A and B are shown apart, each in its own frame.
Chain A
Amino acid sequence: MDVTPRYLGAGSALSRRDPRVLLLVPVLYLVAVAGVEDLRAMLACAVLAVAYYRAAGIPWRDVRANWAFMLAFTTILVVVNSIITSADSRSDPSAEVLFTVPVTASPITWATLSYSATLFVRYVTLAMIGFPVAFNIAPSDLGVAFARLGLSQRLAYGVDLTFRFLPSTWASLHETLDAQRVRGYEHGRSRNPVKRLLRLRPVVVPLTVNALIDAEDTVNAMDLRGFGGRHRTWMRELSFDRTDLLTLGGFAVVAAAMVVAKFLGLTGAVWVP
């Protein structure tokens, strides 16, 4: 399995944006949709999310598996939270019950379905807005983007290092696994979760110890090249252009509008058709 960070949206409108835009937009979108209970308002936000995702130009075939996982996970989450357990308590007790869920006996009304749809759309559109962070920011730009957003130099470079060492850590995991497999080690023999966890020890212990030893060398290598000083130049120059500012401004306006709408009680209630 290749764990090298994938840069998939090269050449797209979003890839030309300052990476800070791609980091800030999900935050603004989250603020916008966090309090929305009305499916109609949620769908309006979804139009924006779809347009944003399309601008990312991420090839479908490359993220099919990611979407399959995301949609399966979201569906389970929504079904468990709003239908099986009837978590939405705001539905009207006098509302018409469409059917009752077997086993849990949860009554399903139009309000329950509307609430479920709102949740589903919220999670899916958050993923749409979040995917460009993973696939449209060049891995080498992440550190500088975080640094320019005010994160300390050490933490920001830590982000870069994570991406740099992800493939080698993955390779080391496989190497360690193989080194134990040639000693007859097999992981999945027990159904007992505690035993299964304990059986990970022959892999986890060497992997962790080796990672710490390797990290000491890497830290030394960085110190020996002057890392950690107060002033650092980031080679990558970042500056917002007009489109960046318009994009950020647009999402900021939507976020502000949705917050105001929430306080005015326009989007805080579940919509029942």
Chain B
Amino acid sequence: MTALIEVRDASVRYLSTGRTALGPVDLTVDPGRLLLVAGPSGCGKSTLLRLLNGLVPHAYRAEITGEVNVDGRPVAGRTLRDLSTVVGTMLQDPRRQVVGTTVAAEIAFGPENLGLPREEIRRRITEVAGRLGLTHLLDRATAGLSGGELQMVAFAGVLAMRPRVVVVDEPLANLDPAAGLRLLGELRRFVDEGGAAVVVEHRVDDILEFAPDEVLYLEAGRTAYRGPVAGFLRAAPVAHVRLPFAALLDRAAELPAMPAPPVSGVPPEPAPAPRLAYRQAALGYPGRTVLAGVDLALGPHERVAVLGPNGAGKSTLLRAAMALVTATRGEVLADGVPVAGQTVAALATTFGYVFQNPGQALFSATVRQELAFGPHNLGREPAKIAEDSAAALRATLLDQEPEIMDRLPRTLSFGQQRRLTVALALAMRPRTLILDEPTAGQDLGTTTELIGHALAADGVESVYFITHDVDLALTRADRVIVIDGGRVVADATPAALARDAAVWSRPGMRATGLVRAARDHLPPSGPVPHAFELARRIALSARSSPSPQEGTTSQ
């Protein structure tokens, strides 16, 4: 049987930067095989995908050594158009991949480019839409689709090219777990029917249920591990890869100590007014209510996580705190005062809001100017701005970067840019930090670092954060709010939420191994420790009483 992809001793050096981004690596993908590629941010995963689909060297000027064959022929000698019939590519963000104005137009796009007859294109649209359950969406405008629908439509567009291999870049990065996992289910079916797939993903624990046949783990562009899953689970660096809880139990003895999040400030007596309160609030945009009947009070000394599927209204809920979204009914109060009568600028000293994409904030020529922008808008003195900027950089550990103040913000790595956006908020000295998807698309190391800095920031009394990461919400918050179907469906301590079967049976929610372990091994209310800590505790108790560890290895 001929391998669909063969990479032998290949290295890639980008001519624009002169940096070797990948290699040497070896790789073989046979029909019927699913390969998982993992590794920390910047380890060369994206470059590997570009090498496989031909963007390197066809779209990115790079020097390639070694051998890269697709379907038995060298990539270098083939056009992208030719390669596109063998290797299909799913980008990380389907919003950038989908170019058709309607679903049918999107599925037709590739076959149209190949110059196929209309009858054949129609046949492929019908076939692929039927296969992926998209027939009812064919006439819908792609601009109106949900994230999950859009990802499935992007996959349909790839399948319509009839590729033999599909490469997928971080399918879980931008979507709620349920939406991403639906795509992976279809991908597994594609592989089982004779295709092949290469999936790049940080969240290894979520991928494993789709039974990858092999794992390639990259570090600094080089192969750190290549082999079966079982071996990877034994060898993977636990601090950098999200392993399933059962694997953590097996390796409990070697798990590093993880500092618990700082204890929330003890609220003074009598209890102060909530930092953020919603009274029968309906929130949304002109002509569209996103959330209704919201009655919540978030304390000034609480860490609150907001969970929920894509489009549920998580961001809408917390943006109302900054008057970025207005209440069409009821009211929203900050420290007891309605936000409706306040400007966004006035609220910026109470709430520091950190958006998901750092690229939306960064515009200055230097980090110094970027940090000064917010405080300057609030009319602060230059000396105070300099002092607060330095403190914000220290809190996010960015002060350790050489000459950071004079660096162009856009030249920082993505992880550093994320930390910088937290620093931008901290420089305004808010009392509550609001983080919108702080860890989306980041590896475990960066996630741990970023959220750790945010929770421990000096002067910040409370942190409210939106996330799709169930484990992060459970281990880092005092309280978890679940939004779904336009309303609040749960509001509980992490341990209590883990036991709430109704929450985990909702379509957009998914119980992780940690949820099951917390349900089976922790008291019914209170905090949930870090997964490493819980695994150590369970392993320890298992050694003293060797009964089966219910909930840690099964659904």
| Docked pose: A227 CA to B114 CA in angstroms | 8
Counting chain B residues whose Cβ lies within 8 A of the other chain, the interface size class is: 35 or more
> B115 contacts A223, CB within 8 Å?
no
Output the least CB separation between A141 and chain B (Å): 9
Neighbouring A residues of B521 by C-beta, 8 Å: none
**Are A223 and B55 CB-contacts (below 8 A) given A181-B324, A182-B353?**
yes
B128-182 with Cβ < 8 A to chain A: 141-144, 157-158, 161
| Docked pose: A181 CA to B62 CA in angstroms | 41
**Are A206 and B108 CB-contacts (below 8 A) given A184-B428, A233-B121?**
no
**Are A182 and B141 CB-contacts (below 8 A) given A161-B99, A233-B116?**
no
| Docked pose: A201 CA to B370 CA in angstroms | 12
Neighbouring B residues of A220 by C-beta, 8 Å: 55, 59, 91
Stretch at the interface among B7-15, B29-37, B248-256, B372-380: B372-380
Counting chain A residues whose Cβ lies within 8 A of the other chain, the interface size class is: 35 or more
Q: 1/0 per position for B83-107, CB-CB distance to A under 8 A?
A: 1110111010101111111101100
Task: Please name the residue on chain A nearest to B115 by beta carbon.
Answer: A231
Task: Please name the residue on chain A nearest to B143 by beta carbon.
Answer: A167
Determine if B17 is an interface residue (Cβ-Cβ < 8 Å): no
Of the candidates B83, B85, B96, B425, the one whose C-beta lies within 8 Å of that of A221 is: B96
**Are A233 and B345 CB-contacts (below 8 A) given A220-B59, A226-B81?**
no
**Are A205 and B363 CB-contacts (below 8 A) given A4-B143, A217-B96?**
yes
Neighbouring B residues of A231 by C-beta, 8 Å: 115
Neighbouring B residues of A139 by C-beta, 8 Å: 101, 141
| Docked pose: A213 CA to B84 CA in angstroms | 22
> A235 contacts B353, CB within 8 Å?
no
Neighbouring B residues of A66 by C-beta, 8 Å: none
Neighbouring B residues of A221 by C-beta, 8 Å: 89, 91, 96-97, 99
Secondary structure of the A side of the interface?
A: helix
> A206 contacts B93, CB within 8 Å?
no
Stretch at the interface among B67-75, B270-278, B354-362: B354-362
With contacts defined as CB atoms under 8 Å apart, how many contacts are there between chain A and chain B in the complex? 160
**Are A224 and B118 CB-contacts (below 8 A) given A164-B101, A209-B359?**
no
Determine if A52 is an interface residue (Cβ-Cβ < 8 Å): no
Neighbouring A residues of B84 by C-beta, 8 Å: 224-226
**Are A225 and B113 CB-contacts (below 8 A) given A139-B101, A164-B100, A217-B97?**
yes
Residues of B within 8 A of A (CB): 53-55, 58-59, 80-81, 83-85, 87-89, 91, 93, 95-102, 104-105, 108-118, 121-122, 141-144, 157-158, 161, 319, 322, 324, 343-345, 348, 351-353, 355, 357, 359-363, 373-374, 377-378, 410, 424-425, 428
**28 pairs, A vs B, C-beta closer than 8 Å:** A4-B143, A139-B141, A160-B99, A160-B101, A161-B99, A175-B360, A180-B361, A182-B348, A182-B351, A182-B353, A184-B345, A184-B377, A185-B373, A209-B359, A218-B97, A220-B91, A221-B89, A221-B96, A223-B80, A225-B110, A225-B157, A229-B114, A229-B115, A232-B112, A233-B112, A233-B116, A233-B121, A235-B121
